[in-house]
Structure 1
Amino acid sequence: MFGGDVSPESTVFGSGDPDSAVVGSVHGDEPTGVRAIHRVLEPPPTFDRPVKFVVANPPAAVAHRRYLDVDMNRVFPGDADADERERRLAAQLVAETDDCTVLSIHTTRATSDPVAFVTSEHRRTLEVVSQLPLDYVVNERPTVDSAFSSTGAVSVEVGKPERDDAIAKAEEIIRAFLRVVGAVDEPSPPTSSPAYFTTDDTIEKPGSHDSYELLVENFERVEAGTAYAKADGETLVADESFVPILVSETGYDDIFGYRGHRTADSLDGARDAWLGDG
């Protein structure tokens, strides 16, 4: 554990008190978000509203490690007095972005397609994410309640780590976010219409095996009785139908990813399902 002072690194562009923030490096081994932020800011656009840009976990980023004490994206809202660096950083990041509309950039080994994770009770988050250039929006509240998204952030997995296409997609999403929150006045490209999903459970890896093979694709429905993976050649069969969400052989030590379902094909449908607005 670490006893020294540590805090996120924050820079404001534009005049006044920012009510929007873009965050990178919650995980120190995911530099894509910070690299995309640098692209957006070199040179910086003309800001009509101030925006805060934040490196969430500087010591892990310098070490190029996912975390140094605990996984920061599993300990929100954090604890300012904790021994572990990431718990303290989480609390400081929450304070740093308080009252801000927040975009957080991440990467994943599971898919090259951008995926947004939200928690359903944050209405402003749903409005913002519906206008970003991505195809999938996932409510992760049923299975994860201590990720950064639980504070109201839009957390976007932009693709696979350190790939040029992921950095380019992150830049595109950041620029779109800045337009959506009114921070910049730039022409808006045609928006996508994402599908909305809900996580139901984790997909556990059975026991200790040397090799795993997935037989399904993310966001493509798996019917009951269908083989979805192999563990050391042993076939694993779905007991019931589900939609694979952020599944991969190597992304997690003990799970493949998440089992979920398609909730809606529109923002109004998602609001009806998640907020009871129907």
Structure 2
Amino acid sequence: MKFHNVSPDIAEFGPGDPELAVVCNVHGDEPTGARAVRRIIESSPTFERGVKFVVANPPASIAHRRFLDADMNRVFPGDQNADDLERRLAAQLVEETAGLVTLAIHTTHATPEPIAFISEGHPRSLEVASQLPIASVVNETPVVESSFSSTGPVVSIEAGRVETPNAIGKAEMLIRAFLNNEDALSEGAPMYAPDTTYFEIYDEVEKPSGDESYELLARNFERVQADEAYARSTDGTLLADDPFVPILMSQSGYSSIFGYRGRKIGETVDDAKTAWTDSGE
């Protein structure tokens, strides 16, 4: 079935033109963000700035599939004239969020704890992420191409594990924190993480083809040492050639990779700014 005239679903709240956006369901099998947004809207908050709430991929959401034609989070900035549904929707989403500071909600198979992903090319994203109650902020630019975060001041949040009540609660908390920090809601003092650590990913951790029996031994954000086992199966053990920090690693989240190799950049925004500025030179 072709969806030629489908657009993202959009609702606007607050006075004036929208200055902020909250995006969910870039992947149709991740309904957590939409459920969190519904909780917020049903609480009848008073918005003090214009906010645009966007369901990015309605057809995949209805089908409860990650995507129908192409992974939407790998085809930005998209193409309004493309045959693939997700490329058309990606182009429309970029247009709808142009110039807006944006929070995008995802979920993962890897960890119950929220993670923020940003692009090093957008300093405003780093500023927004550093103000959220999240312990880990990750620059995905070195490895992940054509993601939503590459298109502007977008912070992409993995709110927790797919379709768990805990993830919905954390997504709601993070959306409220974002809107509160940006003066769109008045809900008390801004909420910050007690400690935030900054990372970047630099490589994928591939799964050996033809073996589905691997057990993942590595734990996300716990450093794996050189020659340490990070996975094992009946065919043998996988050892790290060099030390790395596992990021978004899981047994079932991806078909061909466990997740990503990362490195710690620092514990302050200035550390991250320095590292990501230097990497671009």
TM-score bracket for this pair, using the shorter chain length? over 0.9
- Counterpart for residue 123 of structure 1: 123
In structure 1, C-alpha distance between the alignment counterparts of 2:196 and 2:77, rounded to whole Å? 28
Question: Which letter maps to 2:54?
Answer: V
Q: Give 1:237 shift.
A: 0.3
Q: Give 1:261 shift.
A: 0.2
Q: Give 1:181 shift.
A: 1.4
Q: Give 1:100 shift.
A: 0.3
Q: Give 1:164 shift.
A: 0.7
Question: Which letter maps to 2:186?
Answer: D
1:1-80 map, 5 Å: 2=2, 4-80=4-80
- Counterpart for residue 237 of structure 2: 235
- Counterpart for residue 219 of structure 1: 221
Aligned length: 277
- Counterpart for residue 168 of structure 2: 167
Instruction: Give me the identity figure in percent.
Output: 57
Q: CA deviation digits over 1:45-101, x for unaligned, max 9?
A: 111101000000000000000000000011000011000000000000000101100
TM-score, with length taken from structure 2: 0.96
- When residues 70 and 38 of structure 1 are mapped into structure 2, their CA distance, relative to the original with a 3 A threshold, is same
Q: Does 1:156 align with 2:157?
A: yes
Question: Which letter maps to 2:178?
Answer: F
- Counterpart for residue 257 of structure 2: 255
- What residue ranges of structure 2 are gaps of 5+ in the alignment? none
User: Is the Cα–Cα contact under 8 Å of residues 3 and 83 in structure 1 kept in the other structure?
Assistant: no
Q: CA RMSD in A?
A: 1.3
User: Is the Cα–Cα contact under 8 Å of residues 11 and 52 in structure 2 kept in the other structure?
Assistant: yes
Question: Which letter maps to 1:181?
Answer: E
Question: Which letter maps to 2:101?
Answer: T
User: Is the Cα–Cα contact under 8 Å of residues 32 and 166 in structure 1 kept in the other structure?
Assistant: yes
SS of aligned partner of 1:249: coil
- Counterpart for residue 89 of structure 1: 89
In structure 2, C-alpha distance between the alignment counterparts of 1:231 and 1:74, rounded to whole Å? 30
User: Is the Cα–Cα contact under 8 Å of residues 131 and 191 in structure 2 kept in the other structure?
Assistant: no
User: Is the Cα–Cα contact under 8 Å of residues 8 and 93 in structure 2 kept in the other structure?
Assistant: yes
In structure 2, C-alpha distance between the alignment counterparts of 1:149 and 1:230, rounded to whole Å? 33
- When residues 260 and 226 of structure 1 are mapped into structure 2, their CA distance, relative to the original with a 3 A threshold, is same
In structure 1, C-alpha distance between the alignment counterparts of 2:191 and 2:26, rounded to whole Å? 30
Q: Give 1:19 shift.
A: 1.1
Q: Give 1:190 shift.
A: 4.6
SS of aligned partner of 1:197: strand
Q: Does 1:178 align with 2:179?
A: yes
Q: Give 1:43 shift.
A: 2.3
- What residue ranges of structure 1 are gaps of 5+ in the alignment? none
- When residues 66 and 269 of structure 1 are mapped into structure 2, their CA distance, relative to the original with a 3 A threshold, is same
Question: Which letter maps to 2:100?
Answer: C
Q: Give 1:146 shift.
A: 0.7
User: Is the Cα–Cα contact under 8 Å of residues 176 and 188 in structure 1 kept in the other structure?
Assistant: no
Q: Give 1:169 shift.
A: 0.2
In structure 2, C-alpha distance between the alignment counterparts of 1:190 and 1:29, rounded to whole Å? 29
1:198-209 map, 5 Å: 198-209=200-211
In structure 1, C-alpha distance between the alignment counterparts of 2:3 and 2:61, rounded to whole Å? 18
Question: Which letter maps to 1:223?
Answer: Q
Question: Which letter maps to 1:210?
Answer: E
Q: Give 1:189 shift.
A: 5.4
In structure 2, C-alpha distance between the alignment counterparts of 1:190 and 1:140, rounded to whole Å? 24
In structure 1, C-alpha distance between the alignment counterparts of 2:143 and 2:51, rounded to whole Å? 31
Question: Which letter maps to 1:169?
Answer: K
SS of aligned partner of 1:41: helix
Q: CA deviation digits over 1:220-277, x for unaligned, max 9?
A: 1111010000144410000001000000000000000000100111111111111249
In structure 2, C-alpha distance between the alignment counterparts of 1:176 and 1:189, rounded to whole Å? 7
Q: Give 1:210 shift.
A: 2.2
- Counterpart for residue 197 of structure 2: 195
